[in-house]
A and B are shown apart, each in its own frame.
Chain A
Amino acid sequence: MSPPDRDDGVEQAARRREDSADSRRVAPARSTDERAPTLTADDIRYAYGDEPLFSAASLSVAPGEVLTVVGPSGAGKTTLLGLLGLFRPPDAGTVRWEGRDVWGRSDEERLAIRRRIGTVFQEPALFNESVARNVGYGLRVRSSWRDRLRDAAARAIGRTDPSDRVREALETVGLAEKADRNALSLSGGEAQRVAFARALAVEPDVLLLDEPTSNLDPRNTAVLEAVVAEAREAGLGVVVATHDMHQAERISDRVAVLLDGTVIETGPPEQVFDDPDDPRTRKFVTGELLY
């Protein structure tokens, strides 16, 4: 694929981001207070062996809200997202989905909840197959074994066509024309955009993003921030772990500061960054905090 194609994708996505940013400027930030949170962590504790990581961390994300978790490296942002993504249970405390304890439910119920959560990691972790197959993975594991066998048979004789949702997700990240490329041949930025498309294709209610743009150039970062804004507009709850304060300020409805094994402060970005309640937040934001 020639560079202009990639640029077209980036330009389209960047335009969507500008439109989305304009709409946010015109309309006052939606009040998320009235909305019941979709995903909540209540006083969760977690330790690696004998070393406690969280003593009592709490946060929640509501539909149509972008919650950014900021904190120094090693604070446990990735682990926190892993607990929210139901990769493992907390040692204590509760993870709730729509108000109900997740780990008190059956495996089937928990799987159903997990399938309403999309996760993007710092590294794209793509499969060694085409871009379209990568994006369609989540849809395939949700289909019956019979459909999956039919899909495998169709693929064996070379008759495969990406589904509408795969195409739509790829268009969202500006990579529709690279659907047939092997995912491992993409650049780092494109690969991360495919990882976003893969998470979006299953139409999740909550999106968990772990340092999603930390390895990307500004153009790809802009594309993915536009995708986050679109997801928010579409009513998804988005949790972003980042140590990029500028990004947190740009994309967040609320910011949670993870320090000393707990969420020390949560609030709108202007409050957290300009007028924080906790003196440790101010020190962390200004870079005075040593850790």
Chain B
Amino acid sequence: MLLQSAVLPDAGWNYFLSIVAVSLYVSGTAVALSTLASLPVALAVGFGDFPGKRAVAAVINTGMGFPSVVVGLLVLLLVSNQGPLGELGLVFTPKAMILSQFVLATPVITSISLSAVESVGEDVRDAAFALGGTDADVALAVIKEARYGIVTAVLAGFGRAISEVGSILIVGGNIVYSDGTSYTRTLTTAITVEARQGRYEAGLVLGAALLALVLGVNWLGSWVRSRGRGRGSQ
């Protein structure tokens, strides 16, 4: 693997497309994993009636404001050669970036999903139970009722992940291959490179691409929500 700085005009489309692909892969995977981890937690906290429930919710909400560079530093300590996960060889790989974005996106998705779950009335849970639902059926019914809030949570988590720069710069290393295509360089880290080197036009192009990506994902979310609302109402 070769480490080499790249310039957008030289590498052209390959450079640009590889950066977009790495950005989508890292953030998409991190958000998918975060969603899988967040929903059970949101359901457990939302359904549960246990001592310290408020404290748990407060911790989750506090996690939304984790500074990304601190998360990056902690993940680096975790995956570095001397760290507990050092043997896995994750440092300066997309997997380490996924891990750090997972840490950043999970509190966001959990917190917003928790609000969505808690907004589903107890009467709906009782109805699902009374109709013969098992605990799993009741949980699914609640997720279904909270689906618009959960879609919003996933979008917010994606927004947090894709626009984040500090932690992935630390754990990913902002690496490109010798052919100029990206290994761990994303749209945000590429923008920092372009800005640092005074190539503002290239930075703006990458910034516009990042905005377009976020807008596109949000549009997709809105479309899903509007499609869901329309179903059954005709």
Contact = CB atoms under 8 A, between A and B. Distances in A.
Contacts of B234: 180
A87 B126 contact: yes
Chain A interface mostly helix, strand, loop or mixed?
A: mixed
Contact of A141 (B124, B126, B134, B232): B134
Interface string B208-234: 000000000000000000000001111
Contacts of B233: 130, 181-182, 185
A199 B131 contact: yes
Given A87-B129, A133-B232, A127 B123 contact: no
A114 interface: yes
Interface in A110-156: 111, 114-115, 117-119, 121, 123, 125-131, 133, 137-138, 141-142
Contact of A127 (B126, B127, B134): B127
A198 interface: yes
Contacts of B145: 127-128
Contacts of B144: 127-129
A119 B130 contact: yes
A130 B232 contact: yes
A202 interface: yes
A129 B124 CA distance: 13
Chain B facing A: main interface SS = helix
Given A127-B145, A182-B232, A141 B130 contact: no
A42 to B, nearest CB: 22
Interface size class of A (residues with CB under 8 A): 20 to 34
Contact of B232 (A119, A180, A198): A180
| Max chain B Cβ within 10 angstroms of own Cβ: one of A123, A127, A133, A185 | A127
A125 B123 contact: yes
B127 A141 contact: no
B225 to A, nearest CB: 12
B87 interface: no
Nearest to A107: B134
A141 B130 CA distance: 11
A202 B131 contact: yes
B179 interface: no
Contact of A121 (B127, B133, B231): B127
A54 to B, nearest CB: 20
Given A85-B130, A121-B123, A125-B127, A141 B137 contact: yes
Interface residues of B, number: 20
A202 B132 contact: yes
Given A125-B123, A125-B127, A141 B231 contact: no
A183 B144 CA distance: 14
Contacts of A181: 232-233
Interface string A157-199: 0000000000000000000000011110100000000010011
A199 B126 CA distance: 13
Contacts of A142: 132
B33 interface: no
Interface in A190-213: 195, 198-199, 202
A137 B131 contact: yes
B141 interface: yes
Contacts of A114: 132
Contacts of A202: 131-132
Most chain A C-beta atoms within 10 Å of own C-beta, residue among B128, B141, B145, B233: B233
B51 interface: no
A127 B124 contact: yes
Interface string B127-152: 11111111001000100110000000
B129 A125 contact: no
A127 B141 contact: yes
Sorted from nearest, which 9 A-B pairs have the closest CB atoms?
A130-B232, A125-B123, A119-B130, A182-B233, A115-B132, A138-B131, A125-B127, A141-B137, A182-B232
7 contacts: A121-B126, A128-B145, A130-B232, A130-B233, A141-B131, A182-B231, A199-B131
Given A111-B134, A142-B132, A185-B233, 17 more contacts: A87-B126, A115-B132, A118-B131, A119-B131, A123-B123, A126-B127, A128-B144, A129-B144, A130-B231, A131-B232, A137-B133, A141-B134, A181-B232, A181-B233, A183-B232, A198-B127, A199-B130
Interface of B: 121, 123-124, 126-134, 137, 141, 144-145, 231-234
